[in-house]
Amino acid sequence: MDFDTPQAEAWIRAIAAAVEKDQSRLTELDSAIGDGDHGSNLNRGFAAVLTTLDGLRPDSPGAVLTKTGTTLISKVGGASGPLYGKAFRAIGAALPGPADPAALAEALSAGLDAIRLLGKADPGDKTIVDAWTPAVAAFRATAATGAPLPEAATAAAEAAEQGARATTPLQARKGRASYLGERSIGHQDPGATSTALIFRTLATTLTP
């Protein structure tokens, strides 16, 4: 099974539903160490993405994801819009057609590269990167064994969730949370949490 256009659209719609469901939790996490708008911003952005997709006739998974990224950049405030927008545009650019597990792993890695280039963050800085990095590593390692897409995506989701939880004891070194210094310790990063949500929805979308 390859990652194709209907699956790409199903993934984005699943993200939108999950963000809507979890926006209060994401906002609560962001209220502790950020501006308190992460959940509401993402919900507004993905609602706009759904409207865009309703009028789109994409011919590739890349077209779905590139349009998703462009919409997020234009509709979401704060740091999350540009970061996730650039990530989805990079993933989309790497997927001109249906992708096998290895190709999707490289596309997700391109998304991580885009996030790191824009945000200048490294693992351990208490950001999106702390969940996206282990997710890509797990996806790539699982795909390299010849495992099918659902298995690779599930491994990535589990790694992302573990990475998000691991941000709790960290002191933030990037973003708004870094202004708090040691007071940022003890709070799970909202961006890493939404990244875990994104990878979990990929796993559920690809699992029959």
Using the 8-state DSSP alphabet, how is residue 124 labeled?
T
pLDDT category of residue 36 using cuts at 50, 70 and 90: confident
* Cα 28 from Cα 172, distance rounded (Å): 17
pLDDT tens string 131-143: 999 999 999 999 9
What does residue 150 show for φ and ψ, rounded to 5 degrees? -60, -40
Averaged confidence pLDDT in the chain:
94
What does residue 99 show for φ and ψ, rounded to 5 degrees? -125, 135
Q: Could you count the other beta carbons within 10 Å of the beta carbon of residue 118? A: 14
Domain coordinates in residue numbering, the chain:
5-206
Average pLDDT, integer, range 41-51: 96
5-206 classified as CATH 1.25.40.340: yes
| In the predicted structure, residue 25 carries a pLDDT above the cut 80 | yes
The beta-strand segments (E) located in the chain are none
pLDDT at 182: 76
Q: Could you count the other beta carbons within 10 Å of the beta carbon of residue 186? A: 12
Share above pLDDT 70 across residues of the chain, in percent, rounded to a whole number: 98
Average pLDDT, integer, range 34-63: 93
Are the C-beta atoms of 14 and 204 separated by less than 8 Å? Answer: yes
Average pLDDT, integer, range 181-198: 89
Average pLDDT, integer, range 61-69: 97
Average pLDDT, integer, range 90-113: 97
| Residue 125, CB-side half-sphere exposure with 13 Å CA sphere | 18
| In the predicted structure, residue 180 carries a pLDDT above the cut 70 | no
